[in-house]
Amino acid sequence: MIKKYIGALEAGGTKMVCAVGDINGNIIDKVRIPTTTPDETLRCCFDYFLEKNIDALGIASFGPLDLNINSDTYGYITTTPKPGWQFTDLVGMASKALDVPIGFDTDVNGSLLGEVTFGDARGFSDVVYYTFGTGVGVGVMSGGRLVHGMMHPEAGHMLVLPRDDDRYHGHCSFHRFCLEGMASGPAIEERFGEKGELLSERMDVWELESFYIAQAMVNTILMLSPQRIILGGGVMEQRSLFPLIREKTSAFLNGYINTKEISDIDSYIVPASLNGDQGIKGCFKLALDSVKYAE
C-alpha cells in the first residue's frame, strides 16, 4: 500500500530527472542529475530516493529496453549506442538499492502514460505519443494498455518518402529514408547549418519538416487508428509546425478516413499538455501500477 511518497526516474542520455510525488501525481520535489557513467549516475539517483523514503519507483528510460518480464535481461537498457550504458541492469540495480516495487517502461511510453493519466488525454484508450528531438521516439497505447509486443515500437525509423526537391542524404546510419534520418533535430541542423531553435522564422524549414512528420501521422492513423496523437520533444517547441502538420496530414489522407476525430484535426494532433512534466508524471503512474501488481 502506498503510504506517502512515490518516486519518478526519467532516464535520459544527457540527464536524469528524479522526482518525488504524491499518489495524485503532484510533484513535491524534482532534481536533475547529469548522465555520466551508469554507476556514478545511478548512485546519485538512488541516494536521492533513499533520502526521500519512497514507497515505489517508476522508471521511464531511453532504450532500447528489455520489457519482457519473463526475460533474463528484463529491466535492462540493451543495445544502446550510448557509451558505457549497453546492458545496464537498471531495474535490478534500483531494486537492490531501494527495495521497493519498480515500474519500468520506455521514455516515450512514460510521457504517453503521463498525458493519459494526468493530462489532456485522460479518458482515451488509444493514443500515440511522438517525441521529435535528438531522435524520434514513439509510445503507443492500445485499448488502455501500453504496446510492447516483440520489444516496443521503434516507429522513429519508419520509411518516409523524400520530397522531390530534397537531396539530403539523411542522418540515420541504418536507413536511407527513415523518419528520424530525415526529420530529427540533428537532421534539421545538418541540412540547414543551424539548430532548429535558431531557424524559427525560416518557413521553408518547417514546410519540409512538416512534410515528413505528416507522413508519420498518416502511417500512424492507418496502422494504429489512435483516438489522439500527441507530439512532444524539442523540435515541437516550434509551434508553427502544428498547423502545417495537420494540413499535410489531411492532404495525404485525402478523405480516405472519415471519422469525427479526423474531421476535428486541431483536437486530434496536439502538443503535450503537462509542460515538460509528462515523463515524470508517467513515472508516477508506473510506480503506482507496480504497487498494484506487487500487492
Residue 44 vs 262, nearer CB to its own copies: 262
As a dihedral over the C-alpha atoms of residue 11, residue 14, residue 19, residue 25, rounded to 10 degrees, the angle is -60
Residue with grid cell 506487487, as numbered in its chain: 294
Site string for its own copies, 185-224 (x = CB under 8 A): ------------------------------x--xxxxxxx
Residues in the chain: 295
- According to CB under 8 A, which one of 19, 158, 205, 236 is a site residue for its own copies? 158
Nearer to its own copies, 45 or 121 (CB): 121
Give CA–CA dist 128/116, Å, rounded: 10
Nearer to its own copies by Cβ, of 8 and 217: the residue is: 217
Q: Toward its own copies, which CB reaches closer, 123 or 193?
A: 123
* 60 close to 105: Cβ distance less than 8 angstroms: yes
> Looking at 13-21, 51-59, 153-161, 281-289, which segment touches its own copies (CB under 8 A)?
153-161
Candidate segments 19-27, 41-49, 149-157, 193-201, binder of its own copies by CB under 8 A: 149-157
Q: Give me the least distance between CB of 138 and its own copies, in Å please.
A: 7
Min separation Cβ 250 and its own copies, Å: 12
Q: How far is the CB of 118 from its own copies (least distance, A)?
A: 21
**24 touching its own copies, by CB under 8 A:** no
Looking at beta carbons only, is 1 or 150 nearer to its own copies? 150
15: phi then psi, degrees, rounded to nearest 5 = -150, 155
In the shown chain, the binding pattern of residues 66 to 85 toward its own copies, with x for contact by CB under 8 A and - for none, equals: ------------xx------
Least distance in Å: CB of 161 to its own copies? Answer: 5
CB contact at 8 A, 222 and 208: no
Exposed, middle or buried, 95 (CB in 10 Å: 0-12/13-18/19+)?
A: middle
Nearer to its own copies, 94 or 265 (CB): 265
Nearest approach in angstroms of CB 224 to its own copies is 6
Which of 18, 42, 91, 160 binds its own copies (CB under 8 A)? It is: 160
Residue labelled with grid coordinates 536507413: 175
> For its own copies, which is the closer residue by CB, 36 or 225?
225
User: Can you tell me which of 75, 153, 196, 279 binds its own copies, judged by CB under 8 A?
Assistant: 153
Q: Which is nearer to its own copies, 23 or 257 (CB)?
A: 257
85-144: contacts with its own copies (CB under 8 A): 125-126, 138, 140, 142-143
What residues make contact with its own copies under the rule CB under 8 A?
A: 78-79, 125-126, 138, 140, 142-143, 145, 147-161, 174-175, 177, 215, 218-227, 252-259, 261-262
